[in-house]
């Protein structure tokens, strides 16, 4: 089962009795999928448990009995779609208007801030998707209308989430791409089990990434040190061939011969052997390089260009 399905199943296990919470969840559900029509409410879902929940919640908060039906697709691969509808008639016109008024008060989410997690829950149940964190950090809301997606975007901005907004293939997408905010939203919506499961994967993944970064850093340093050592050995051998190491100062001859005997040692390891500082080792190799360049005529060429 996908992370999205597991989270939705956990949320659907939450029993809501408070009227305000029921209304806030219904508002998120209906708004995300453009269920508000001119002649009433049309809500559709492939999830039977979600459809049952919506039907029962409507009965709990308003004295209107909605119609419920399902549509079986002609193609076997297509899932069954469940539909809940409320048609405006003269008999329920006043009740329906009051019901809409109660729902749309959540548009001013600043006034009902404590119910923001419940509105998010409604949005997620019918339009949300979470990717397996092993494959990447992704929380998407695929929303039918621009107004509904803008509302969600502003709501998430209000609670300081790093959220983005785009449109693709006639869908408005509100999305988050960082694990911290995704974990916060999972917990806010009531997905405690999925929160800990997602967090465990995230921690392990971050630890692996940290170890890999450290190994790559160490490998790069080793390769850099090895390349420098090879260059130093070539330089020392050239000096030995042209003038002999015994003609160097005692300090330079000492470091030259030590390098030839310890080809893979780092500067620190060479410094430890000679009981001098690392900067002292670096200075000696810099002086050897000057002699090497002078023997190759590099300095003479530079001085000629200067003249």
Question: Which residue, chain included where needed, has tokens 């509904």?
Answer: 148
- Tens place of pLDDT per residue across the chain (307 aa): 888 999 999 999 999 999 999 999 999 999 998 999 999 999 999 899 999 999 999 999 999 999 988 877 666 556 788 999 999 999 999 999 999 999 999 988 878 889 999 999 999 999 999 999 988 899 999 998 999 999 999 999 999 999 999 988 778 999 999 999 999 999 999 999 999 998 888 888 777 777 677 766 666 766 777 778 888 888 888 888 888 888 889 899 898 898 888 888 888 888 898 899 989 888 998 999 899 898 888 754 444 443 3
What's the pLDDT tens digit per position in 174-227?
Answer: 999 999 999 999 999 999 999 999 888 888 877 777 767 776 666 676 677 777
What's the pLDDT tens digit per position in 16-41?
Answer: 999 999 999 999 999 998 999 999 99
- Radius of gyration of the chain, Cα coordinates, nearest whole angstrom: 35
Residue 73's pLDDT is what? 62
Interatomic CA distance for residues 95 and 58, integer angstroms: 12
Residue 306's pLDDT is what? 37
**pTM, full prediction:** 0.68
Q: How far is CA 112 from CA 20, 23, 58, 155, in A?
A: 10, 12, 20, 11
Q: How far is CA 246 from CA 15, 152, 249, 253, in A?
A: 89, 78, 8, 7
C-beta of residue 96 within 8 angstroms of C-beta of residue 90? no
Residue 71's pLDDT is what? 78
Residue count of the chain: 307
Interatomic CA distance for residues 87 and 38, integer angstroms: 9
């Amino acid at each position: 089962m996908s992370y999205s399905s597991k989270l939705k199943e956990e949320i659907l296990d939450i029993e809501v009795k408070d009227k305000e919470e029921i209304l806030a969840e219904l508002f998120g559900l209906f708004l995300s999928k453009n269920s508000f029509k001119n002649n009433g409410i049309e809500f559709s879902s492939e999830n039977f448990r979600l459809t049952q929940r919506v039907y029962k919640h409507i009965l709990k908060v308003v004295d209107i009995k909605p119609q419920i039906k399902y549509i079986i697709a002609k193609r076997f691969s297509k899932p069954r779609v469940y539909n809940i509808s409320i048609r405006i008639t003269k008999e329920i016109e006043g009740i329906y208007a009051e019901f809409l008024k109660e729902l749309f008060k959540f548009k001013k989410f600043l006034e009902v801030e404590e119910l923001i997690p419940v509105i998010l829950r409604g949005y997620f149940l019918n339009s949300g998707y979470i990717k397996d964190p092993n494959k990447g950090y992704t929380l998407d809301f695929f929303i039918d209308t621009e107004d509904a997606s803008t509302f969600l975007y502003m709501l998430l901005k209000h609670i300081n989430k790093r959220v983005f907004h785009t449109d693709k293939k006639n869908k408005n997408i509100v999305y988050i791409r960082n694990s911290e905010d995704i974990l916060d939203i999972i917990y806010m919506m009531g997905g405690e089990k999925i929160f800990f499961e997602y967090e465990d994967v995230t921690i392990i993944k971050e630890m692996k990434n940290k170890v890999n970064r450290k190994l790559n850093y160490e490998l790069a340093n080793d390769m850099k040190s090895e390349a420098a050592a090879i260059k130093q050995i070539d330089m020392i051998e050239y000096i030995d061939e042209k003038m002999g190491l015994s003609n160097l100062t005692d300090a330079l001859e000492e470091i030259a011969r030590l390098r030839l005997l310890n080809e893979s040692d780092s500067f620190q390891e060479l410094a430890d052997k000679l009981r001098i500082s690392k900067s002292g080792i670096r200075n000696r190799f810099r002086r050897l390089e000057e002699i090497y360049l002078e023997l190759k005529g590099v300095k003479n060429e530079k001085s000629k260009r200067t003249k």
